[in-house]
């Protein structure tokens, strides 16, 4: 038996940019241990597993080492895979049952819009020395249910941080979001995301982090429509609309760079 497998670059319209995710299309939900083994074999920041579940699709996300509760770029990749393989018509909405509840994706031209939960960070003092971890002094620290969150004073400081990944790996969270106000008119804010404890030293473009970044910067900038740039080596843009009832809409593009089959 073989299973369709795609490698998709998310939050970009150029190959080898944005954030790659493997997407495995299944007939039914497989055992967790099998999915973790496949994700380790794929060795991408995330591998998404998708199967038909009644009227919706089941969706789970795995890094090379752990399962995660929420992933934006692999959800974008999963929806893109369903439309590209004609499991869904271009005008149909992709509904996913996940560990973070029901998520939906709709296609608008070349863009995919994803309805996600808002995950705003709460300010808090911590026992952790983020200055030492990053080589830069925070001006705001907090966390949400998944990640620690640090604001720096400038985009230059964000680009020049020297993360101590061993120290970040000791944080009792999925990872660390680091952000700063944009120093260009091309976008509203920039960010980076580190999750060595989840098998991802630095993620390229983290959709789920923008569930926190969107509400955070909407409060400070004073607008609900934002553009975020993740300043990783590959880089990528995420458009965000902060909605009512603790929801955000994340928008991005994606393209398939590899198709094949998984022999099992």
Structural domains present in the chain: 2-116+251-263 (3.10.310.10), 122-242 (3.10.310.10)
The residue ranges of the chain whose pLDDT is under 70 are 1
Among 187, 124, 192, smallest CA distance to 161 is for 192
Q: What is the reported pLDDT for 264?
A: 79
pLDDT reported for residue 209: 98
Q: How far does CA 262 lie from the centroid of its chain?
A: 24
Q: How many whole angstroms separate alpha carbon 205 and alpha carbon 19? A: 5
Conformation bin of residue 199: beta by default, left when phi > 0, alpha when psi is -120 to 50: left
Asked if 257 contacts 1 with a C-beta cutoff of 8 angstroms, the reply is no
pTM: 0.95
Q: What is the pLDDT of residues 88-145, one digit of tens each?
A: 998 999 999 999 999 999 999 999 999 999 999 999 988 999 999 999 999 999 999 9
pLDDT recorded at residue 125:
86
Catalytic residues: 46
Q: Are 29 and 58 in contact (CB under 8 A)?
A: yes
Q: What is the pLDDT of residue 253?
A: 97
Q: CA 217 to CA 190: how far, in whole Å? A: 10
Model pLDDT, residue 126: 85
In 71-217 the beta strands, taken as DSSP E runs, fall at 94-98, 101-108, 111-117, 122-123, 140-143, 147-151, 175-181, 189-195, 200-203
Q: What 8-state DSSP symbol labels residue 93?
A: P
Q: What is the pLDDT of residue 19?
A: 98
Are residues 230 and 193 in contact, defined by beta-carbon separation less than 8 angstroms? yes
């Amino acid at each position: 038996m073989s299973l369709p497998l795609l490698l998709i670059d998310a939050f970009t319209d150029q190959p080898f940019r944005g954030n790659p995710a493997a997407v495995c299309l299944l007939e039914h939900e497989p055992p967790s241990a099998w999915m973790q083994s496949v994700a380790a074999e794929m060795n991408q920041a995330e591998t998404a597993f998708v199967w038909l579940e009644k009227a919706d699709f089941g969706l789970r996300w795995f890094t090379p080492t752990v399962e995660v509760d929420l992933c934006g770029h692999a959800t974008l990749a999963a929806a893109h895979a369903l439309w590209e393989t004609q499991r869904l018509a271009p005008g149909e909405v992709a509904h996913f049952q996940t560990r973070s509840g029901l998520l939906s994706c709709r296609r608008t031209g070349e863009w995919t819009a994803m309805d996600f939960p808002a995950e705003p960070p709460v300010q808090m003092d911590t026992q952790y020395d983020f200055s030492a971890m990053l080589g830069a002094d925070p001006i705001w620290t907090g966390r949400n249910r998944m990640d620690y969150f640090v604001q720096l004073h400038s985009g230059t400081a964000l680009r020049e941080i020297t993360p101590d990944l061993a120290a970040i790996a000791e944080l009792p969270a999925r990872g660390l979001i680091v952000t700063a106000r944009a120093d260009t008119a091309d976008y509203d804010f920039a960010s980076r995301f580190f999750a060595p404890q989840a098998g991802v030293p630095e993620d390229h473009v983290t959709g789920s982090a923008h569930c926190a970044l969107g509400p955070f910067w909407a409060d400070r900038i004073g607008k609900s429509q934002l553009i975020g740039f993740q300043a990783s080596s590959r880089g990528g843009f995420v458009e965000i609309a902060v909605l009512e009832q603790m929801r955000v809409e994340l928008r991005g593009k994606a393209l398939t760079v590899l198709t094949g089959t998984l022999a099992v």
